[in-house]
Amino acid sequence: MSAKRKTIPYQDYLDREQRQPHAPLAAEMNFFNLIKVGDVREVRKLCREPFHEKTGLGILSEDGMRNIRYHFVITAAIIARNCIEGGMPMPEAYGMSDYYIRLADEAATKEEITEIHEEMCIAYAGRMQEISREDIFSRHVTDCIDYIYEHLDERIKMKDLCKVTGLSEGYLSRLFRNETNMTVTEYIISKKIETARNMLKNSDYPIVWISETLAFPSQSYFTRVFTRYCKLSPARYRQQRRQKG
């Protein structure tokens, strides 16, 4: 005879869940979006908070290990689907999630699952960064693009890129423009604006904070550049995206 299944009334469960301090949705969506756009550096920073100690995780199981495994599986599924939307082939995205879910299933401790979670997030972000560059650039231009992605929170100077590639400023400028159809400055600004759009859409960070984080000289300058690229001010862009849900 099977043991009687332990249950709690549904309303009691809802009341308990409402008392749990769940993680802000905007912050979660921003994290997934950073993986989708291939921002390895920022993903690595955000993974410093141990996954098994993350605040806001719901209680999916009373067993601690089972609970963190369930959350890992959910996270892997969301990341895979976001990366498919971003251009990753479906078999590759699901193959990666299957691989990391199996690793998590075999993990003996919560700390191991946290290590696997960090490895998975960085691996997906790294692959998305590669996919974004698959126009097949030369090694020198690829090195520039890698440096730009890794330093969007800084004021990137041409001399920095020359140091990375070992090329003269004039030669590197011509090479970069020939391969990307943009000047180095145009490319840097376009990637900063792309990142700003994602932050405005998926987070509640103040506009001045976004401006400073992306190393714009001032909020007014950021607003002018953003408006030129997007035909909307940052505030209006955020408002429209929120209205569209």
Query: Residue 98's CB: how many other CB atoms inside 10 A?
Result: 12
Read off the pLDDT of each residue in 148-172 and give the average, rounded to a whole number.
94
Domain end marker among 79, 113, 132:
132
Identify whether 218 is part of a domain.
yes
Domain end marker among 107, 132, 157:
132
Residues 61 and 86 reside in one and the same domain: yes
Concatenated DSSP letters for 149-215? HHTTTS---HHHHHHHHT--HHHHHHHHHHHHSS-HHHHHHHHHHHHHHHHHHH----HHHHHHHTT
Read off the pLDDT of each residue in 181-189 and give the average, rounded to a whole number.
95
Residues 152 and 125 reside in one and the same domain: no
| Selected residue with higher pLDDT from 199 and 245 | 199
Identify whether 110 is part of a domain.
yes
Q: According to the model, what pLDDT value does residue 13 have?
A: 45
Number of domains in the chain: 2
Identify whether 6 is part of a domain.
no
Identify whether 4 is part of a domain.
no
Share of the chain above pLDDT 90, in %: 56
Q: Quick check: 11 pLDDT over 70?
A: no
Read off the pLDDT of each residue in 11-39 and give the average, rounded to a whole number.
68
Share of the chain above pLDDT 70, in %: 87
Q: Quick check: 230 pLDDT over 90?
A: yes
Identify whether 183 is part of a domain.
yes
Residues 85 and 153 reside in one and the same domain: no
Read off the pLDDT of each residue in 173-178 and give the average, rounded to a whole number.
95
Residues 189 and 106 reside in one and the same domain: no
Q: Quick check: 244 pLDDT over 80?
A: no
Residues 40 and 66 reside in one and the same domain: yes
Read off the pLDDT of each residue in 220-233 and give the average, rounded to a whole number.
96
Q: According to the model, what pLDDT value does residue 53 have?
A: 85
Residues 238 and 171 reside in one and the same domain: yes
If DSSP states are collapsed to H, E and C, what string results for 102-140?
HHHHHCCCHHHHHHHHHHHHHHHHHHHHHHHCCCCCCHH
26 Cβ neighbours under 8 A, 6+ residues apart: 202, 203, 204
Identify whether 154 is part of a domain.
yes
Cα–Cα distance, 125 to 130 (Å, whole number): 9
234 Cβ neighbours under 8 A, 6+ residues apart: 196, 200, 207, 210, 222, 223, 226, 227
Q: Quick check: 208 pLDDT over 90?
A: yes
Residues 92 and 66 reside in one and the same domain: yes
Q: Quick check: 7 pLDDT over 60?
A: no
Residues 106 and 145 reside in one and the same domain: no
Least confident residue range of 19-33, 145-159, 212-226: 19-33
Q: Quick check: 210 pLDDT over 70?
A: yes
Identify whether 162 is part of a domain.
yes
Residues 123 and 151 reside in one and the same domain: no
Instruction: Give residue-wise pLDDT tens across range 75-130.
Output: 999 999 999 988 888 888 999 999 999 999 999 999 999 999 999 999 999 999 88
Q: According to the model, what pLDDT value does residue 206 have?
A: 93
List the domain range (segments joined by +) for residue 233: 139-243
Residues 114 and 143 reside in one and the same domain: no
Residues 128 and 64 reside in one and the same domain: yes
Domain end marker among 132, 158, 186:
132
Q: Quick check: 5 pLDDT over 60?
A: no
| CATH number for 182 | 1.10.10.60
Identify whether 1 is part of a domain.
no
Residues 128 and 143 reside in one and the same domain: no
